[in-house]
Amino acid sequence: MMDPMRMPPLRPAAPAQASGSWYAGLLYAAMLCGLLAGSSAQALTLQQIRGGLTTYTVATVDLRRDDLRLHWINPTTGQPYQTFAQLRERLRKEGDRALFLTNSGIYAPGYKPLGLHVEGGRELVPLNFARTGGNFALLPNGVFWVDGGRAGVSETGEYVAQKLRPQYATQSGPLLLRRGQVHPSFSEKSTSFKLRSGVGVCSDGRVRFAVSNAPVNFYAFAVFFRDVLRCPDALYLDGSISAYATPDTDTQLANFAGMWSVSLPAPSRS
155 has pLDDT over 70:
yes
**C-alpha span between 84 and 144 (Å, rounded):** 20
The per-residue pLDDT for 132 is 80
Task: Calculate mean pLDDT across residues 50-77.
Answer: 96
Single-letter code of the amino acid located at 245: A
> Which of 19-28, 116-125, 181-190 shows the lowest per-residue confidence on average (mean pLDDT)?
19-28
The per-residue pLDDT for 27 is 38
Give the SS3 label for residue 8. Answer: coil
20 pLDDT band, cuts 50/70/90, is very low
> Which of 118-122, 201-205, 243-247, 265-269 shows the lowest per-residue confidence on average (mean pLDDT)?
265-269
60 has pLDDT over 80:
yes
Task: Calculate mean pLDDT across residues 174-182.
Answer: 98
40 has pLDDT over 70:
no
Q: Would you say how long the chain is, in residues?
A: 270
21 has pLDDT over 70:
no
The per-residue pLDDT for 257 is 97
- Taking the CA of residue 207 as centre, how many other CA atoms within 13 Å lie in the half-sphere pointing to its CB? 28
131 pLDDT band, cuts 50/70/90, is confident
Residues 49, 102, 164, 264, Cα dihedral to 10°: 90
DSSP code string of 98-148 = EEEEEE-S-EETTTEESS-EEETTEEEE-----S-STGGGSSS-EEEEEET
The per-residue pLDDT for 41 is 59
The per-residue pLDDT for 42 is 76
268 pLDDT band, cuts 50/70/90, is low
Single-letter code of the amino acid located at 204: D
**C-alpha span between 212 and 62 (Å, rounded):** 21
